[in-house]
Structure 1
Amino acid sequence: MLSSVAEYRIAAQRRLPRLAFDYLDGGAEDGDALQRNNDAYRQWLFKPRVLTDVSRCSSVTQFFGRDAAAPMIVGPTGLNGLFWPRADELLAQAASRAALPFVLSTASTSLLEDVRTAAPHGDLWVQLYVQQDRGIAEDLMRRASAAGYSTLVLTVDVPVHGKRDHDTRNGFRMPLRLSPRLLADCVTHPHWCWQMTRSGSPQLKNIAKSVGERADLSRHAAMLSRQMDLTLGWADLEWVRRHWSGKVIVKGVMGVDDALLAVTHGADGIVVSNHGGRQLGSTFAPLEVLPGIVEAVRGRMEIFIDGGVRRGSDALKAVALGARGVLLGRAPLYGVASCGGAGASEVLALMMDEMLISMRLLGCQGIADVSPAFVGHAGRAV
């Protein structure tokens, strides 16, 4: 096991060709939002209490009545087969072994049914993009419900894809097309090249199955990038409810007004998120807007957050500021991209251990003890 998520990032960078690593690691435009997400956690500092009994410290919490080993969720990320064959299944297995939920992306490269088979006892959630042909989303919801997925994460901050300069520079497109640059990358990254040659180009299998077509990555990637439903509005949560009987979380909320609309329209929760800095190139970090949203919502629904969490202590800061839990995106991907399922499990174990260490040093027995009293902003008087 490596010592930090940062070291798994370096290992992933060494193993992946540039176009794949930049797709995993990069943000929109100049990367300002991505950098702000990471920096935001450095601006909140702990205020520990001492001489408290932490002999039975536990990070166990609950999401919608189901136990989780820590206030962490392996969040939805797309095209993961680009990093390791069957990566979605490996991530789901790692999350299940760690007793954490896993969220499967609409843009997954494994069938949702195969992910359920790989993690038969895991708490699986499904993320949904809504395209112009809403029959695709309806079929995905039907299939996920039949496979025992418990929670729907409706992502609403991608009416169009953000501008990602790194993908343009690298000539990134799916399916991969051999070019002098990619050929040079393959020569210098033989393990990745061998795996891709053996397993074949990743495919957006869930979209293909719900469309009723054979896997055709170029067509289905284009559907995701150019055929999103631009009319989707708050009233459409009623349409979602007609096709989904489980919990519904709205992902991509970055302001108080939208958080209150989510309450009004009956969402069970929101994810405060700027899509990992991959959409708008210049936004506030989710952690910066979290306290105001928590204050406005006042417990009327669950509030989650993602973006910039690289240590268990980061997750603990988000919980102290009112989040029910954090969605982990890049961190477990660095693990799976560096050494497959073992890497994903190691990253989750590492972050959970970091959280427990921080809780003991803060003087907290359990997650319920973690409160705003334990953190302060670096720019304000304590």
Structure 2
Amino acid sequence: MRPSLRALRRENGASSQVEAGAAAARLDASPATVKGTPRRKLYAGHALEHARTVDDLRAMAHRRLPDFALEYLEGGAEEEATLSRNLAALASYRLLPRALVDVAHRDLSVSLFGRSMPLPFAIAPTGLNGLFWSKADVLLGTAAAKAGIPFIQSTMSNDSMEDVSAIPGLRHWWQLYVFGDRWIRDDLIDRAGNAGCEALVVTIDAQFYGDREWEERRFAHPGRLSLASLVEATLHPQWIATTLRRGMPSFVNLIDYLPKDRRGFFESAFWIRANMDHTLDWKEMARIRALWPRKLLIKGLLNVHDVERAMAIGADGVILSNHGGRQLDWTISGLDALPAARGFIRNGKTLIVDGGVRRGTDVVKALALGADAVLLGRATLYGLSAAGEPGVERAIDILREEIDRDLGLLGAPSISALGPEFLTR
């Protein structure tokens, strides 16, 4: 008899937990504890200075957010095997340090598109951030500008493109979903150019919406939360005060493109989801390339042959991504594709990866495998959901501190010194 997917998931989960090690293990399974002592508990209070790790910020976010928002933030598609794979892929590599290397001074900077930045990561495009904090996209962009890193604003963001572009010193990139009539995407591209966006990031793995079963259970029907979800949300007064003080967010960058009766928050999201362009292909991508005069990145590639095609149409780089495990289930992670993809990236082109980054060692592994930079998705959203802009800044600071320390312990004086010789399977 063929085993059920649930049974396979249990089997896969057991082996993946061993492979994922500390990244996926329960706190009480630590080899440092005996029957739960000494007690291990993530910090979930209110004082950001007590958040020692991104997982602490995650615990703070879990305390503050209502279940329906938390499920949207955390969940993956179907069996959530892709979600698990992102963590397991990172954990399948072990670090191989070099001894007696002068690491008195460590350089965490990298160069993207010929411009230096002090840290080897950027903030990924994430939609519906207004569920987590009012003016969330402006807060993310402001924290990114302070850190000197790019912020990729999503088509599904809840603050205007122009407001985000006005943030002083921000490297502002615009992420494009291709939906509706062609004139809509063309208008968004024109607006991104007029707003001064440095790069256009076209996401190509979301033309169908992933089957996020647990998220869908929070709704009575598309566009309307269940009564139980609404009642549970009222039990989170901090979330109400910091997120709904201006009312429900809206998709301000898209509102003029939507039918007048579909401009509410959830109604808009479901309408756009239903009107994604299923005909999107390489020919249309080449047309977008011709329209956009600045840097172009294609996000959502996992097959190295598609990386090669992206180079052929003149993309300036690619982002290896499985959409945080939220689209097609049972795919590989971006990290799995990274070593082979590196061989297809031409000189001067950019290779970025995302998926499951929670620790400085995660960043170091991706860079050693050939990434030019990584994207932070949930990691900075945990900070945002925990404490707004200061929470995002804390997430960035935690990763900065971890990467700096990791380079010193690894015997690598700079990001540029990293390579596959520092890793083993």
Residue 74 (structure 1) shift: 0.2
Which of 170, 195, 212 does residue 147 from structure 1 map onto? Answer: 195
1:171 aligns with 2:212: no
* Preserved CA contact (<8 Å) 1:106 1:206: yes
Query: CA–CA distance in 1 between the matches of 2:288 and 2:324?
Result: 24
- Report the Cα distance in structure 2 between the residues aligned to 1:97 and 1:220, rounded to whole angstroms: 32
Superposed displacement of residue 39, structure 1: 1.5
* 1:224 Cα deviation from its structure 2 partner: 2.0
Matches within 5 A, 1:1-382: 1=49, 2-117=51-166, 119-171=167-219, 177=225, 179-209=226-256, 215-297=263-345, 299=347, 301-377=349-425
1:217–1:184 distance in 2 versus 1, CA, 3 Å: closer
Q: Give the count of matched residue pairs.
A: 375
- Which range moves more in the overlay, 191-200 or 75-84? 191-200
The structure with the larger Rg is 2
What is the match of residue 42 of structure 2?
A: none
Structure 1: any 5+ residue segments left out of the alignment? 378-382
Q: Answer with 242-251 or 215-224: which moved more.
A: 215-224
2:252 alignment partner AA: K
- Per the normalisation by structure 1, the TM-score is 0.94
- Is the 8 Å Cα contact of residues 300 and 321 (structure 2) preserved in structure 1? yes
SS at match of 2:409: helix
Larger relative contact order (Cα-Cα within 8 Å, sequence gap ≥ 6): 1
Separation in 1, partners of 2:236, 2:303: 42
For 1:111, give the aligned amino acid: S
Q: Which runs of 4+ in 1 moved over 6 A?
A: none
Please name the residue that 2:30 is paired with: none
* Aligned residue type for 2:161: L
Shift of 1:238: 2.7
Aligned in 2, Cα 1:173/1:301: closer, same or farther, shift over 3 Å?
Answer: farther
Do the aligned partners of residues 308 and 162 (structure 1) sit closer, same or farther apart at CA in structure 2, a change above 3 Å counting? same
Tell me the TM-score normalised to structure 2 length. 0.84
C-alpha contact 1:176 1:201 (8 A) present in aligned 2:
no
Amino acid at match of 2:122: I
Hey, what does 1:380 align to over in structure 2? none
Separation in 1, partners of 2:203, 2:310: 13
Distance 1:345 1:88, change over 3 A: same
Whether the 8 Å contact between 1:263 and 1:300 is mirrored in structure 2 is: no
Distance 2:276 2:259 in 1: 18
Seq. identity, %: 39
| CA-CA distance at 1:344 after TM superposition | 0.4
- Which stretches in structure 2 are left out of the alignment for 5+ residues? 1-48
* AA in 1 matched with 2:417: D
The CA RMSD measured in Å over matched residues stands at: 1.8
- From the superposition, tell whether residues 17 and 298 of structure 1 become closer, same or farther in structure 2 (CA, over 3 Å): same
Distance 1:172 1:334 in 2: 27
Distance in 2 separating the partners of 1:212 and 1:77:
23
User: How far 1:220 sits from its partner (Å)?
Assistant: 2.7
